[in-house]
C-alpha cells in the first residue's frame, strides 16, 4: 500500500435499500476456496480453516463495522490463503478456506455447509476444523478444543515459534457460540481461536468496534 494524497469527502447517499425476509432478498453466501492436496491417499481428506464474515448490520441508525467480530478472523483466513497460494504450498490433504455467513443469526452458514459439504462430498471426509473468531485484540490467544484433540495440538506445537507459543493458551472446549460448533457436534476434531486479556473485547457488538483498534500483532499470532 502507499499514500495517494487524495482526499475524499462523503456527502451522503442516493438510495436506502432494505434487505429482509419479507422482501425475499436476504440471501447470503458462504465464500469458499481451496488448495488441493497432493497425496494420493490423503487428498480426499479436508482440513477447514474458517471464520465468519458477517456482523450485526445497522441498529438505531448506527453502522456496526465488526472489525474485531469478525473481520479480524476472516482477514486472517484470507491472508493465510493468499500466503499459502503464493508460496505454492502443496499440502498432503486438501485445505478449504471458509468465510461463513450468518453466524450472528445462529451459525447459519457453517451449519448449512456441515449438513451439505458441497465440495468435500461428506462430513466424514473433513478431518479437522479451525475457527477464528475475534482474534484482533488482547494479549493471549485461547484455543478451546486443543486439549480435547491432543493429536492436532501436538502437530501445532511441533514446529511453532516459541514466542507464539507463549501467547497460546490451550483449553478444553465444546460446542459453543461460534462456527466450529457445526463441526464438533458431527464428530470433527475442531478448535476455536479467540483472543483475551489486555483491553479485551470492550466493543463487542457495539458500533465502536472499528479497525483502528485492531492489534496487528494479535492477527499475526492467530495466523
Residues with catalytic roles: 103
Nearest to 51 by CA among 85, 76, 79: 76
Phi, psi for residue 100 in degrees, rounded to 5: -85, 145
* CB 98, CB 49: distance < 8 Å: yes
Strand partners, 46: 94, 126
- Integer angstrom CA distances of residue 222 from 15, 72, 94, 208: 38, 9, 21, 22
What is the rounded distance in angstroms from the CA atom of residue 17 to the CA atom of residue 5?
A: 32
Q: What totals of helices (H) and strands (E) does the chain contain, helices first?
A: 6, 9
What is the rounded distance in angstroms from the CA atom of residue 132 to the CA atom of residue 128?
A: 14
Q: Is 217 helix (H, G, I), strand (E, B) or coil?
A: helix
What is the rounded distance in angstroms from the CA atom of residue 188 to the CA atom of residue 183?
A: 5
How does strand 94-100 pair with strand 31-35? antiparallel
Phi, psi for residue 178 in degrees, rounded to 5: -145, 180
Amino acid at each position: 500500500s502507499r499514500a495517494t494524497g487524495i482526499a475524499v469527502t462523503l456527502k451522503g447517499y442516493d438510495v436506502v435499500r432494505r434487505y429482509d425476509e419479507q422482501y425475499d432478498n436476504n440471501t447470503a453466501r458462504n465464500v469458499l476456496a481451496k488448495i488441493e492436496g497432493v497425496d494420493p491417499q490423503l487428498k480426499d481428506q479436508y482440513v477447514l480453516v474458517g471464520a465468519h464474515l458477517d456482523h450485526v448490520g445497522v441498529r438505531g441508525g448506527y453502522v456496526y463495522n465488526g472489525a474485531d467480530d469478525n473481520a479480524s478472523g476472516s482477514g486472517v483466513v484470507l491472508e493465510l490463503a493468499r500466503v499459502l497460494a503464493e508460496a505454492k504450498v502443496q499440502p498432503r490433504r486438501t485445505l478449504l478456506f471458509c468465510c461463513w455467513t450468518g453466524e450472528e443469526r445462529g451459525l447459519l452458514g457453517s451449519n448449512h455447509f456441515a449438513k451439505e459439504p458441497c465440495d468435500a462430498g461428506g462430513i466424514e471426509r473433513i478431518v479437522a476444523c479451525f475457527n477464528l473468531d475475534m482474534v484482533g485484540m488482547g494479549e493471549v490467544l485461547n484455543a478451546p478444543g486443543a486439549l480435547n484433540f491432543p493429536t492436532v495440538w501436538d502437530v501445532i506445537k511441533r514446529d511453532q515459534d516459541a514466542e507464539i507459543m507463549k501467547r497460546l493458551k490451550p483449553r478444553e472446549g465444546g460446542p459453543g457460540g461460534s462456527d466450529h460448533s457445526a463441526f464438533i457436534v458431527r464428530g470433527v476434531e475442531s478448535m476455536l481461536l479467540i483472543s483475551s486479556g489486555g483491553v479485551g473485547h470492550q466493543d463487542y457488538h457495539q458500533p465502536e468496534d472499528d479497525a483502528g483498534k485492531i492489534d496487528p500483532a494479535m492477527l499475526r499470532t492467530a495466523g
